[in-house]
């Protein structure tokens, strides 16, 4: 695989983003960095973390400290997973193969998107622990087929994304004129039917059948019933939907606004997390993504009840800038930040990270 040099001033996830923005074709930047409509939710994903403050405790015994977690019956070294993202080959020739190698090197789970630009079967050969994400297909047999392919290739869990029956108002991409370059495509889906519905009348195409056959709770239940792998439902913001997902048989819920890429004007996941955990927290693990860029962000998410977090765009930034080494380095930087943040908060384990760490201005500090 291509050797790439990581610029020496790359000391945080933000540095990877800076180098990515400077190096990569503007149309591809528009797709990866892009958000829905005006980016209100995209920006709020970061602002919401900035609004939250930590109230650390001193002089705790930190001997034997660890970031290990239990998730779906397995012990994982870190509460950070790689979020599903389409088309890694947009930024690196080896695409998801390189990301998987970095995940294997650092012990992180990679969630492979159904829209990956490398076959899910080939990604499975890189030795990483994998989850597989799919958008429910109109033809449920196609979803079943994808699930069977992932299951038979050793994927450990399925993520069903429910917040994107449409791909969102991608004005940033439209302005930049983004189209998939030659040679990059959703190769896993090549054998299935086209999901595009022909537009018959002038005017808005959205209600001209685009949503006919889109997933509903009944379809989700059928997919979960069919799966021999644990299923997590991704893209939940309302606590009642979280409960519906659990009642449908989900083994986990991923609180997410898709990195601000689908519906603009929705709250940041970190702002709705505690409500969701209150509603379902004891039953299944709750994960969160959107705006995680620092170790302190992870601590804030864990403190508000997340079992783990997922990391999106920074993985593609690092892949673009440094290939396998870049992603491994970026994940290691974040792991170091997490350990520092836990240590400075007085937490030896993730169980010590709880809501008492969140500063509440209204609390009587007496």
Residues identified as active-site: 258
CA atoms within 13 A on the CB side of 138: 12
**Closest by alpha carbon to 294, among 248, 355, 344, 245?**
344
Nearer CB in complex with ligand FMN: 320/352: 320
User: Which pair of structure tokens corresponds to residue 164?
Assistant: 């994107």
Say how far residue 113 (Cα) sits from the centre of its chain: 10
Give, as one character, the DSSP assignment of residue 54: B
- Residue nearest ligand FMN by beta-carbon distance: 312
If one counts every other C-beta atom within 10 angstroms of the C-beta of residue 93, the result is: 11
Q: Minimum distance between the CB of residue 203 and ligand FMN, rounded to whole angstroms? A: 29
Residue 81 forms beta bridges with which residues? 310
Query: Least distance (Å) from ligand FMN to the CB of residue 313?
Result: 4
Closest to 130 (Cα-Cα) out of 143, 119, 145, 140: 119
Smallest gap from Cβ 312 to ligand FMN, in A, equals 2
Give yes or no for residue 286 binding ligand FMN (CB under 6 A). Answer: no
Q: Which stretch binds ligand FMN (CB under 6 A): 148-156, 251-259, 275-283, 331-339?
A: 251-259
* Nearest approach, Cβ of residue 311 and ligand FMN (Å): 5
Q: Is 317 in the site for ligand FMN (CB under 6 A)?
A: no
Query: Shortest distance, CB of residue 71 to ligand FMN, whole angstroms?
Result: 17
Binding residue for ligand FMN (CB under 6 A) from 110, 112, 286, 292? 292
Residue 291 or 295: which CB sits closer to ligand FMN?
Answer: 291
161 is an interface residue for ligand FMN by CB under 6 A: yes
Name the minimum Å distance from CB 115 to ligand FMN.
5
Residue 272 found at the interface with ligand FMN (CB under 6 A)? no
Rule CB under 6 A: is residue 143 a binding residue for ligand FMN? no
Q: Which two tokens stand for residue 280?
A: 């379902």
Cβ contacts of residue 174 below 8 Å, gap of 6+?
A: none
CB 115 within 8 A of CB 164: no
Q: DSSP H helical segments within 177-268, as ranges?
A: 217-226, 239-247
Q: Going residue by residue from 30 to 69, which x/- string records binding to ligand FMN, judged by CB under 6 A? A: --x------------x------------------------
Q: Find the part of the chain contacting ligand FMN (CB under 6 A) among 102-110, 136-144, 169-177, 253-261.
A: 253-261
* Number of residues located near ligand FMN, criterion CB under 6 A: 22
- Residue 331 and residue 76 in contact, taking contact as beta carbons nearer than 8 Å: no
H-type helices in 133-259, by residue range?
140-152, 171-176, 217-226, 239-247
Task: Record the tokens describing residue 244, joined without a space.
Answer: 């519906």
| Binding of residue 12 to ligand FMN (CB under 6 A) | no
CA distance 13 to 316: 11
Q: Which is nearer to ligand FMN, 45 or 99 (CB)?
A: 45
- Range list of β-strands (E), the chain: 69-71, 74-76, 80-82, 110-113, 130-134, 157-161, 231-236, 252-255, 286-289, 308-311
By CB under 6 A, is residue 115 in contact with ligand FMN? Answer: yes
Binding ligand FMN by CB under 6 A: which of 259, 295, 305, 326? 259
146 contacts ligand FMN (rule: CB under 6 A): no
CB of 164 to ligand FMN, least distance (A): 7
- Hey, is 79 helix, strand or coil? coil
Q: Which of residues 165-204 bind ligand FMN (CB under 6 A)?
A: none
Residues 62-101, mask of contacts with ligand FMN (x by CB under 6 A) = ---------------------xxxx---------------
Which tokens is 310 given?
């997922």
Instruction: Determine if 108 is a binding residue for ligand FMN (CB under 6 A).
Output: no
Identify the three-state secondary structure at position 16. helix
Based on the number of CB atoms within 10 Å of its own CB, is 249 exposed (0-12), middle (13-18) or buried (19 or more)? middle
Token output for 357: 């760490």
**Residues near ligand FMN (CB under 6 A):** 32, 45, 83-86, 113, 115, 133, 161, 234, 256, 258-259, 261, 289-292, 311-313
């Amino acid at each position: 695989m291509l050797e790439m040099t990581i610029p020496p001033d790359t000391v945080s996830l933000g540095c990877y983003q800076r180098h990515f923005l400077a190096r990569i074709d503007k149309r591809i930047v528009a797709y990866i960095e892009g958000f829905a409509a005006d980016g209100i939710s995209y920006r709020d994903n970061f602002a919401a973390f900035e609004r939250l403050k930590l109230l650390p405790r001193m002089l705790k015994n930190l001997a034997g400290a660890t970031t290990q977690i239990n998730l779906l019956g397995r012990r994982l070294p870190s509460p950070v997973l790689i979020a599903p993202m389409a088309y890694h080959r947009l930024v690196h020739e080896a695409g998801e193969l390189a990301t998987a190698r970095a995940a294997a090197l650092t012990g992180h789970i990679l969630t492979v998107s159904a829209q990956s630009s490398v076959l899910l079967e080939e990604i499975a050969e890189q030795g990483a622990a994998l989850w597989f994400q799919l958008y429910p297909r109109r033809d449920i047999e196609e979803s079943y087929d994808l699930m069977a392919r992932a299951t038979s290739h050793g994927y450990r869990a399925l993520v069903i994304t429910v917040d994107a029956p449409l791909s969102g108002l991608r004005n940033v991409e439209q302005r930049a004129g983004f189209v998939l370059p030659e040679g990059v495509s959703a190769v896993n889906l090549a054998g299935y039917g086209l999901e595009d519905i022909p537009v018959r009348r002038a005017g808005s195409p959205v209600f001209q059948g685009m949503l006919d056959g889109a997933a509903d709770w009944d379809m989700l239940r059928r997919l979960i019933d069919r799966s021999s792998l644990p299923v997590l439902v991704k893209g939940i913001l309302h606590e009642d939907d979280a409960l519906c997902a659990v009642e449908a048989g989900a083994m986990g819920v991923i609180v997410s606004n898709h990195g601000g890429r689908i519906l603009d004007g929705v709250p940041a996941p970190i702002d709705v997390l505690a409500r969701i955990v209150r509603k379902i927290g004891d039953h299944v693990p709750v994960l969160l993504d959107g705006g995680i860029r620092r170790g302190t962000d992870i601590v804030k998410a864990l403190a508000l009840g997340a079992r783990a977090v997922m990391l999106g765009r920074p993985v593609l930034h690092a892949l673009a800038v440094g290939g396998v080494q870049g992603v491994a380095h970026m994940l290691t930087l974040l792991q170091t930040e997490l350990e520092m943040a836990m240590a400075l908060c007085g937490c030896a384990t993730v169980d010590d990270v709880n809501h008492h760490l969140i500063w509440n201005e209204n609390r009587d500090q007496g």
